[in-house]
Structure 1
Amino acid sequence: MTLEQLTAELIQTVKQLNDQLQSIAQALRQFGPQVIVDNQLFEQAIAFRWEKTEDLRYKGYLVPIRHPQLSSFNALSNIDLQVNKVKDNTEAFVKGYFANNVLLTGARGTGKSSIVKACLNEFHAKGLRIIELEKKDLNDLPKIVNLIADRPERFIIFCDDLAFEAGDTSYSGLKTVLDGSLSASADNVLIYATSNRKHMVTEYQRDNQEFFVSESGEIHPGDSVEQKVSLADRFGLQIHFYSFSQVEYLNTVKLWLVEYGWQHHEIEHVKQQAIQYATQKGNRSGRIANQFAKMLSGQRALQQDR
């Protein structure tokens, strides 16, 4: 046997062993305790993050967020229509009335995530709680819903910045909950998700072709794309956000500068700087306006301190 043959055989053996170890690990995870929760933790915070260990036990945890980043509805500029829809839906949910899962899509930095944080700020005293869930853990959604189904609080499971590429099946857990299967439905849980894409999935021109063969050999890969695109339709409330005009952007800059202690007559002298800052960033949004206001306020405080 040549050295090349021996090397190839060794590589194949290592691969087989790795596959066997992965199968054993998966089997052990099914027998181990997969979800851990201490009921007292719900008294410790108003916001939580879902985390998991990556060892053989593969346990999931709700981790309290001691100091959540909150915002106010009054601090959100140029998106009054979007704010009112989300606020009304959340208020109905908190009061025990019918409400919808929410999908917020559109331009980056326009306030999608801030609206969710404002909901928590507004309604946490009435029992609203938020659980932050990363995209990689979406398949744990049914477990989380089952975990909190009997709690008296009202939970929003927040999935930020969702997007699915070709071959990505991590949305299956989300689909299960949105479809309201018998094992996953709960009256005290809603899903709020944000995405920069309207359908949360990368779309290609070839997806519109009735018949073609994908690189993996799938004859109708467009069917898989359609399944992902239809995921957005499972959200009862879909709200889109648009990039700011220059006037809207400058109004938001003014709002933040006032928040940081500026006088109105002082703000008139920094408009051109604000425009240049947005141009350098290549975007006009509430996030950019806030970043500019912070930068300018910090530099002014520094100069006054010297």
Structure 2
Amino acid sequence: MITPEHQAALDRIASALERISPPAPPPVDLEAHPAYRWDGKALGVVQDFRPLDYTLLAGIDAQKEACLENTRRLAAGHAAHDVLLWGARGTGKSSTVAACVGHVQRTGGNLALVEVATDDLRSLATLFALLRETERPAIVYIDDLGFDENFGGDARALRSMLQGGAAARRGTVRLYATSNRRHIVPRHLSEQDDPINPRDAVDDRMALSDRFGLSLGFHALDQDAYVAIVQRYADAHGLMVDAKEAIQWATQRGSRSGRIAWQYVVELAGRAGKTLD
């Protein structure tokens, strides 16, 4: 017979075990939210998904239109590509992905964005298995994808999943990734001559980027394009722009990009005592 003292001790032990190893969180509703985050073990809901308005993206018209068209096809249940968005930092790669998803959702498309917030890409097999539980189309999004020249297990696992194995994912789950490199892995001039690093090894690494059916390049902006982006952002928020000051702002930071343009507009809004949504 368990005495009250023994029962109290058991309760304390059970509570301690729960603190050490808490129960798994309940599964999220894959139909209910616009965006989710995968941490390598579980899916969570992105509570405040507010992407940039698609119409505000300037200087990258061809890239954003191609990304939007592919995203629309996916939401409609039609054949769609995996997408690699590559190029200079701050040129709008991540903003393009979020803006296209947000635009499709606002115009009636039933589409989910799943951001991968882990470096363990081998966990994607588990994520794809979870996404098989819903018919809702989904974009699995990896930001700042890149591998060193060792091309380890994560890269090979990703390439295998991109190859289209029947057990890996549904046809309405596509992978969107951004990278600073066109071929995702770094390349060296020595590859051309080094007998220890033959051409087939180079092809093995480059084959990862070839798995993406749609590759969109984002390049450094010229001065006119940069000022046009600043002007579009400023007009949307009722701010006055001094083009010379905007150029000086970029010069001081050593870069002209959509990110730098937005930072200048934030400065303008702060001076004017305004907030930016």
Q: Shorter-chain TM-score category?
A: 0.7 to 0.9
Partner of 1:118: 99
Cα distance, 1:133–1:46 mapped onto 2, change above 3 Å: same
Cα distance, 1:200–1:208 mapped onto 2, change above 3 Å: same
Q: 2:171 aligned with 1:194, yes or no?
A: no
Supply the distance in 2 between the matched residues of 1:42 and 1:151 (Cα, whole angstroms): 7
Contact 1:106 1:241 in 2 (8 A): yes
Cα offsets for 1:29-87 (capped at 9, x unmatched): xxxxxxx78454325521111114xxxxxxx1001111024112101001111111111
- Quote the offset at 1:166 in angstroms: 2.0
Between Structure 1 and Structure 2, how many residues are aligned?
A: 248
Unaligned stretches of 5+ residues in structure 1: 1-35, 53-59, 213-219
Structure 2 SS opposite 1:275? helix
**Which of 80, 86, 99 is residue 99 of structure 1 equivalent to?**
80
**Which of 214, 230, 249 is residue 253 of structure 1 equivalent to?**
230
Q: 2:30 aligned with 1:42, yes or no?
A: yes
Supply the distance in 2 between the matched residues of 1:280 and 1:257 (Cα, whole angstroms): 20
Supply the distance in 1 between the matched residues of 2:264 and 2:113 (Cα, whole angstroms): 29
Contact 1:154 1:189 in 2 (8 A): yes
Unaligned stretches of 5+ residues in structure 2: 1-23
Cα distance, 1:135–1:104 mapped onto 2, change above 3 Å: farther
TM-score of the aligned structures, taking structure 2 as reference length: 0.84
Structure 2 SS opposite 1:231? helix
TM-score of the aligned structures, taking structure 1 as reference length: 0.76
Supply the distance in 2 between the matched residues of 1:136 and 1:224 (Cα, whole angstroms): 24
Cα distance, 1:205–1:134 mapped onto 2, change above 3 Å: farther
- Quote the offset at 1:237 in angstroms: 0.5
Higher helix share: 1
- Quote the offset at 1:136 in angstroms: 1.0
Q: 2:218 aligned with 1:279, yes or no?
A: no
Q: Which amino acid aligns with 1:42?
A: L
Supply the distance in 1 between the matched residues of 2:250 and 2:58 (Cα, whole angstroms): 16
Structure 1 SS opposite 2:90? coil
Cα distance, 1:164–1:225 mapped onto 2, change above 3 Å: farther
Q: Which amino acid aligns with 1:258?
A: D
Supply the distance in 2 between the matched residues of 1:64 and 1:137 (Cα, whole angstroms): 19
Contact 1:140 1:173 in 2 (8 A): no
My pick for the range that moved more, 233-242 or 135-144, is: 135-144
Cα offsets for 1:208-242 (capped at 9, x unmatched): 22512xxxxxxx47644432211111100011111
Cα offsets for 1:159-217 (capped at 9, x unmatched): 111111122412122112110113213112000011111101111111222512xxxxx
Q: Percent identity?
A: 33
Supply the distance in 1 between the matched residues of 2:28 and 2:115 (Cα, whole angstroms): 19
Q: Which has the higher contact order (CA 8 A, sep 6+)?
A: 2
